[in-house]
């Protein structure tokens, strides 16, 4: 990457854009809502079950002017979801300021492992054991979404639930490849611990992006 481009990426004026698409939000509190997704490349959290591993290497995704990303997004929807990769790898201030200036609702899906930058209407925190969230993200999260791959994830979920604010909505979501095994365990757990809700990747059942 040229040094000049690198500097613009560091400032958030350009971002490594992996893909952008208009679809239906499939998970969590806003499931069923039409939204425009902006997927930013770059992540070193390293979840072995990640379903977008191609997002990890930021250098595979072209640095794109933030204002171009915003221009594109506003053609489709006034609800924007910024996801990754791990979007907080980069400074989200410029992107979110421009989106908000266009009157958009701006959501983020994040592991919370890095400094919280940007202006957000909704923060979906999906913490990972390998790299825990920052204190600020715990305090500001609107929803906590813990992915359940095995039984130890219930313990981890309770540990994470103690760190978020009292208004944060709590979700347990089956890891897609283990869904047949873990869905009955999640259902049983939520019935015994009703502060939790079940989240499913409904977009995969609907066969949409």
26 is in an annotated binding site: yes
DSSP 54: G
85 is in an annotated binding site: yes
User: Which three-class secondary structure state does DSSP give residue 181?
Assistant: helix
Structure tokens at 15: 């971002």
209 is in an annotated binding site: yes
| Beta strands, E only, the chain | 14-24, 34-40, 63-65, 79-84, 105-110, 122-125, 143-148, 169-174, 196-198
25 is in an annotated binding site: yes
51 is in an annotated binding site: yes
Rounded to 5°, angle at Cα 18 from 77 and 75:
20
47 is in an annotated binding site: yes
42 is in an annotated binding site: no
24 is in an annotated binding site: yes
Measured between alpha carbons, how far is residue 108 from residues 11, 150, 190 in Å? 19, 26, 25
The DSSP bridge partners found for residue 138 are: none
- Show binding-site residues for [4Fe-4S] cluster: 43, 47, 50
- Show binding-site residues for substrate: 24-26, 39, 83, 209
- Show binding-site residues for S-adenosyl-L-methionine: 49-51, 85, 126-128
- Show binding-site residues: 24-26, 39, 43, 47, 49-51, 83, 85, 126-128, 209
């Amino acid at each position: 990457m040229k040094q000049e481009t690198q500097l613009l990426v560091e400032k958030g004026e350009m971002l490594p854009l992996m893909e952008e698409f208009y679809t239906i939000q499939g998970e969590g509190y806003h499931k069923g809502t039409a939204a425009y997704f902006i997927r930013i490349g770059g992540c070193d959290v390293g979840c072995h079950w990640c379903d977008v591993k191609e997002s990890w290497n930021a250098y595979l995704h072209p640095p794109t002017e933030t204002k171009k990303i915003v221009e594109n997004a506003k053609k489709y929807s006034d609800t924007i979801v910024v996801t990754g990769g791990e979007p907080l790898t980069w400074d989200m201030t410029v992107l979110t300021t421009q989106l908000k200036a266009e009157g958009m609702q701006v959501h983020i899906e994040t592991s919370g492992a890095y400094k919280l930058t940007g202006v957000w209407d909704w923060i979906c925190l999906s913490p990972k054991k390998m790299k825990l969230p920052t204190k600020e993200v715990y305090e500001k999260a609107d929803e906590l979404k813990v992915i359940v791959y095995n039984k130890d994830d219930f313990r981890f979920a309770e540990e994470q639930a103690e760190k978020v604010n009292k208004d944060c909505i709590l979700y347990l979501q089956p890891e897609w490849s283990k869904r047949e095994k873990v869905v009955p365990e999640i259902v049983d757990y939520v019935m015994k611990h009703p502060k939790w809700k079940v989240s499913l990747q409904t977009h995969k059942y609907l066969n949409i992006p």
